[in-house]
Homo-oligomer: A and B are copies of this chain.
Amino acid sequence: MIFTDTRDSGFAKSFDELLQRGKMDIAEVSLIVTSIINEIKLDKNEALKKHIEKFDNWTPKSDEELKISTESMSKAYDNLDVKLRDSLHLAYDRIKAYHEKQKPKSWFDTESNGTILGQKVTPVDSAGLYIPGGKAAYPSSLLMNVIPAQVAGVQNIIVTTPTPNNEPNELLLAACHLCGVSEVYKVGGASAIAAMAYGTQSIPKVDVITGPGNIFVATAKKMVFGDVNIDMIAGPSEIGILADDSANPSHLAVDMLSQAEHDEMASSILITPSQALADAVKIEIEVWLKKLSREEIARKSIEERGAIIVTVDMDEAIELMNEIAPEHLEVATDNAFEYLAYIKHAGAIFLGHNTPEAIGDYVAGPNHTLPTGGTAKFFSPLGVENFMKKTSIISFSKNAINKIGEECALIASTEGLTAHEQSVRVRLNK
């Protein structure tokens, strides 16, 4: 773990390490992913089956076997513990309510000469959601990807997820039933991304692909980008915490570990002007580590990619955090809202002592799919807009084109485009 003070001589070097945290070297997997994509384009279902045999350790005997039956989904839902089922419904309802507020509207405006200008916002026709499989098949990931697509109004929503040993994750199946998703395919990794981007006999080509995944999935998404749209290229999870003496060190320690337990590559970074808090959190991390079911992963993550930084004051802490642009940012102070205006870059901001990051992973409402590795400087959380697109609307009356057509024709002619110029001129003074 990096444990440093901004006044330390080695600080700049340590901090630069944190800024580089998200760098993925996709060069080494690019060749493999390219060949997987090409195989799917060429051999479609046959290639899918070959890849399943290789990566998921089972052999689909027919095309039909690639699809999960809706019966198995409703059965998994019926088998859910009642409390868990209610909790998932609560999550579904809250996530849906939040995303409905974020849905963009078509709009138009008129000018007194008859001009109408506007923007039509419509859903894409189809979306493909990738959900990692096996032990990492989280029902919450399904909710967070399906709901914005549903709120957008996407008609055709499909899901792909790998099923190692042909054993689908029961919780995920139950969540599919809960969300009303019926088309789920047992395909994973780069093959699944390629199948959704280009289509096979069983899997329809979609317009937008979203969802988390490992470096092969991330690389495949980047490669098919342009032939379809994608949400973002996401790396390991991460949390940044801004805190002062008002924070509870035990709470912050477990908050940091809630990222660390995801993945050995996850980053947990506390920045505070309080040396006392920094020391206390360091001790509490050790206390908490021993209580975790995923202690080994969390320990490796926190040791290799954790950081506690002591600053001169809160201003400096915020400045550093803006450079880090973390996926999740907790502001653990009494007056958290006062800092909101100064925080420029983060995927999601969790304000105050009662808002642990985990509440946003499941039930708060906002999406838990967030930009990582500093990409919050230019990427946004997954949302309804990822499943919609815009069309400009332009309507000119005779009056309107007569009013500004000359100016338009002049610019066109200056750019040397005669047909542009004439297409306006022929309509003037008629």
Partner of A423, one of B349, B357, B379: B357
Whether the Cβ atoms of A84 and B411 lie closer than 8 Å is yes
Whether the Cβ atoms of B255 and A423 lie closer than 8 Å is yes
Whether the Cβ atoms of B140 and A394 lie closer than 8 Å is no
Within 8 A of B (CB), among A82-115: 83-84, 86-88, 90-91, 94, 98, 101-102, 104, 107, 109, 115
A343, A344, A359 — most chain B CB neighbours (10 Å): A359
Contact with B along A139-175 (1 / 0, CB 8 A): 1100000000000000000000000000000010000
A288, A392, A412 — most chain B CB neighbours (10 Å): A392
Chain B residue numbers with a CB within 8 Å of A393 are 340, 348-349, 351, 366
Whether the Cβ atoms of A354 and B398 lie closer than 8 Å is yes
Chain B residue numbers with a CB within 8 Å of A385 are 385
Inter-chain CA distance A404–B360, complex, in Å, is: 12
Count A-side interface residues using an 8 Å CB cutoff: 124
Q: Determine if A264 is an interface residue (Cβ-Cβ < 8 Å).
A: no
Whether the Cβ atoms of A348 and B392 lie closer than 8 Å is yes
Partner of A389, one of B355, B362, B379: B379
Output the nearest chain B residue to A101 by Cβ-Cβ distance: B109
Output the nearest chain B residue to A125 by Cβ-Cβ distance: B377
Whether the Cβ atoms of B355 and A395 lie closer than 8 Å is yes
Inter-chain CA distance A283–B343, complex, in Å, is: 62
Return A140 CB to nearest CB of chain B, in Å. Answer: 6
Whether the Cβ atoms of A420 and B250 lie closer than 8 Å is no
Closest CB pairs A-B (n = 6):
A87-B407, A366-B392, A348-B392, A380-B390, A351-B395, A229-B378
Q: Determine if A415 is an interface residue (Cβ-Cβ < 8 Å).
A: yes
CB within 8 Å of B: which residues of A?
Answer: 83-84, 86-88, 90-91, 94, 98, 101-102, 104, 107, 109, 115-117, 119-120, 122, 124-125, 135, 138-140, 171, 207-208, 222, 225-226, 228-229, 232-233, 248, 250-251, 254-255, 257-258, 260-262, 288, 291-294, 298, 336-337, 340, 343-367, 370-371, 375-381, 383, 385, 389-398, 400-401, 404-408, 410-412, 414-424, 426-427
Partner of A226, one of B222, B248, B251, B344: B222
Whether the Cβ atoms of B392 and A422 lie closer than 8 Å is no
Output the nearest chain B residue to A223 by Cβ-Cβ distance: B222
Return A31 CB to nearest CB of chain B, in Å. Answer: 12
- Tell whether A419 pairs with B260 under 8 Å between CB atoms, given A378-B208, A408-B358, A411-B362: yes
Whether the Cβ atoms of A418 and B294 lie closer than 8 Å is yes
Chain B residue numbers with a CB within 8 Å of A401 are 354-356, 359
Whether the Cβ atoms of A391 and B377 lie closer than 8 Å is no
Chain B residue numbers with a CB within 8 Å of A261 are 417-420
Whether the Cβ atoms of B362 and A171 lie closer than 8 Å is no
Inter-chain CA distance A232–B225, complex, in Å, is: 9
Whether the Cβ atoms of B258 and A417 lie closer than 8 Å is yes
Output the nearest chain B residue to A109 by Cβ-Cβ distance: B101
Whether the Cβ atoms of A411 and B292 lie closer than 8 Å is no
Inter-chain CA distance A272–B202, complex, in Å, is: 35
Whether the Cβ atoms of B90 and A407 lie closer than 8 Å is yes
Chain B residue numbers with a CB within 8 Å of A357 are 423
Inter-chain CA distance A250–B427, complex, in Å, is: 10
Chain B residue numbers with a CB within 8 Å of A420 are 258, 261, 358, 361
Chain B residue numbers with a CB within 8 Å of A115 are 364
Inter-chain CA distance A120–B292, complex, in Å, is: 34
Output the nearest chain B residue to A80 by Cβ-Cβ distance: B414
Inter-chain CA distance A392–B329, complex, in Å, is: 10
Chain B residue numbers with a CB within 8 Å of A365 are 117, 394
Whether the Cβ atoms of A354 and B207 lie closer than 8 Å is no
